[in-house]
Structure 1
């Protein structure tokens, strides 16, 4: 099976690594505003935004054998294997024609993280972490999703707990490597984007 990094494993000259795509993991609890900011980053910095959840849902909708398998696992309350999600991410990366990606909502846990690096041989350039107090995320979700049954207080709090329990070890792992860029996400959208812009301008290119 060809992978998105196939070309990077060949050749011995110094530019081999330059062919590897730039990957930024985007993490934050439900309601932290990461989706809005990803759209701004795409518009201003030319990244392709890949949401692991959206890719899984699209695969289910496609009616493929893989999609049926994913749907059955979710129905049974099982976790979709990391390799399945990673293959969907790789395919989307290959098909995009781009070399800069925001991967949103993945890795969800340490096992995802280790599998992604193992399979793709790609380490993220950095992790963009939208840090938002639970009360603020709760307020946003309740305001935004009135009438959606999965957004009652109890469910929302469960989602926060799952995010913290599973994603915090990933954030801590990359923080120890100096790769976490933490954004205070409780502020207004424009203020948050100013902080995001500063990170991307210094890290990758000049904003224009």
Structure 2
């Protein structure tokens, strides 16, 4: 049985960096960023990639079935027993769909959902300071932040009721955050 951990947080919260460092330092973990999985498809130049890009380039969500199928395929294709996925779910619909799909999976168990918590000011400073691509500008950041925060209360409530939600402070050094996150997922 594979243990799945969802790492959520605002754009710029560090969730991708934190999860990737854990996977790099512990061979029992695999890490997938939904953003990276989707960007890889865009980079491939496929028709699906072009469709995905039409949403990502505007800071909007990629259609549900595309994302869930991409995630489940990545988990099933992994040889690791513990899977970290960051950046998912980003909507109540994504959360519900993943919950429904996982309920039918005997090989995957959702072990925890961890929110890497940062203020909007810190998130903005990090995203606009890194400016990796065309999607790292003020207008797109504002849209991404809105897309992140609108469903957040419902997502927190859903996973809290299931006893799965945990929060860590994302406004510290990377070493401190990664150590906390690693201890938390190891304990689950």
TM-score interval, normalised by the smaller of the two chains? 0.7 to 0.9
Structure 1, 89-98 or 99-108: larger mean CA deviation = 89-98
8 Å CA contact 1:107–1:167 kept in 2: the answer is no
Ranked by relative contact order (alpha carbons within 8 Å, sequence separation 6 or more), the top structure is 2
Aligned residues: 183
8 Å CA contact 1:117–1:123 kept in 2: the answer is no
CA shift for structure 1 position 65: 4.5
Unaligned 5+ runs, structure 1: 1-18, 204-208
Q: Classify 1:76/1:159 alpha carbon distance in 2 versus 1 (closer, same or farther; 3 Å).
A: closer
CA shift for structure 1 position 160: 1.6
Q: Paired residue for 1:200?
A: 185
Q: Classify 1:166/1:44 alpha carbon distance in 2 versus 1 (closer, same or farther; 3 Å).
A: same
1:48 equivalenced with 2:30 (yes/no): yes
- SS of alignment partner, residue 30 of structure 1: coil
1:39 equivalenced with 2:24 (yes/no): no
Output the CA distance in 1 between the equivalents of 2:126 and 2:24: 24
CA shift for structure 1 position 83: 1.7
Q: Paired residue for 1:88?
A: 70
Output the CA distance in 1 between the equivalents of 2:6 and 2:126: 23
- SS of alignment partner, residue 85 of structure 2: strand
8 Å CA contact 2:57–2:135 kept in 1: the answer is no
1:107 equivalenced with 2:89 (yes/no): yes
Q: Paired residue for 1:11?
A: none
Q: Give runs of aligned pairs for residues 59-98 of structure 1, distance below 5 A.
A: 59-71=41-53, 79-98=61-80
Residue-by-residue CA offset, 1:85-107 (whole Å, 9 max, x unaligned): 11111222222222321111111
Q: Paired residue for 1:145?
A: 131
- SS of alignment partner, residue 40 of structure 2: helix
- SS of alignment partner, residue 150 of structure 2: helix
Residue-by-residue CA offset, 1:151-170 (whole Å, 9 max, x unaligned): 33343233222211133321
CA shift for structure 1 position 41: 1.5
**If each structure's strand is expressed as a fraction of its own residues, which one has the higher value?**
2
Output the CA distance in 2 between the equivalents of 1:27 and 1:138: 16
Structure 2 length-normalised TM? 0.82
1:179 to 164, 178, 185: 164
CA shift for structure 1 position 68: 4.4
Superposition RMSD on alpha carbons, in Å?
Answer: 2.6
Structure 1 length-normalised TM? 0.75
1:133 to 111, 119, 136: 119
Unaligned 5+ runs, structure 2: none
